[in-house]
Amino acid sequence: MTLTVAVQMDPIQNIRITGDSTFAMLLEAQRRGHRLLHYTPDRLSMRDSRVTAMAEPAEVRDVDGDHVTLGEAERVDLADVDVVLLRQDPPFDMAYITTTHLLERIHPQTLVVNDPAHVRNAPEKLFVTHYPHLMPPTLISRDKSEIDAFRREHGDVVMKPLYGNGGAAVFKVSREDPNFGSLFDLFSATFREPWVIQRFLPKITEGDKRIILIDGVAAGAINRVPALNDIRSNMVRGGAAKPTDLTPREIEICETIGPKLKEMGQIFVGIDVIDGNLTEINVTSPTGLRAIKRLGGPDLAITLWDAIESKLP
């Protein structure tokens, strides 16, 4: 089965291929003989309900600094391709949301991975709150009195933007932190949305586990350990990836949320778990495939494409 696969992503020329999960997906798609098309979100259009993109044919290779060759851009009717990979990075803003509305017009006749309507309806730090019994105590608010009450109850907390990503603007705030007032003012001026305030989990120093679920089933994991004097485990912030296995609690978490993710058409999902606490369910552009393989785990790009192809007629 030869497919035409269009990928909506940030400019492929600029990615760091050693850790890029989208690139791993494209390498495997090309290995299977699929035709690749690349476009960025700003080149997505809709005219009279016809959704198109100015897309370039792409040839990829696992060579750092020489990883892609792009052909001449042409207007492609996305209803005529087999699969669209929705893979641009957040921020999850109105521009991102608008692309999900447009892609919803072609799905599922053209399979969009992940299902764009449910990507739109499942922001990582909000969707996870459907499972409070799996999470640390969490407040979504920008009301200072609510945040003060939460801090009095739980002591040290973590504050982060509701629609942030990659560990940006994540702060630990102690119960009596003299910087809290200034941090509250900074967040108020910077973010229009509410924020996430969670009880601080001291065992973050032992790692933040990224678990990949493919079509609702746990398929592999890495443990991301923060750098010294940092609470952020994201690898783009200096976190170190370590091989890991799943604990019984983590298996329970995956088995609890997996059926709903499958029902929602979220084929490629990355969840974050700290000390047995689910903190995020990432559906927009999850990462981890290349790190898992590099550390001796399975090549999940193969598993992922098997799942995608199984959903096509």
Buried b (16+ CB within 10 A) or exposed e, 149-168: ebbeebeebbbbbbbbbebe
Q: Is 77 a catalytic residue?
A: no
| Residue 233: per-residue pLDDT | 58
Q: Is 80 a catalytic residue?
A: no
- What residues of the chain score a pLDDT lower than 70? 232-238
Catalytic residue among 87, 120, 224, 290: 224
| Residue 260: per-residue pLDDT | 98
Catalytic residue among 20, 82, 114, 125: 125
pTM: 0.94
| Residue 6: per-residue pLDDT | 98
Q: Is 260 a catalytic residue?
A: no
Buried b (16+ CB within 10 A) or exposed e, 213-245: bbbbebbbbbbbbbeeebbbbbbebebebeebe
Q: Is 160 a catalytic residue?
A: yes
CA distance 212 to 197: 25
Q: Is 290 a catalytic residue?
A: no
| Residue 235: per-residue pLDDT | 57
Q: Is 75 a catalytic residue?
A: no
Q: Is 210 a catalytic residue?
A: yes
Catalytic residue among 124, 250, 280, 290: 280
Catalytic residue among 28, 87, 272, 277: 272
Q: Is 35 a catalytic residue?
A: no
Catalytic residue among 160, 199, 209, 290: 160
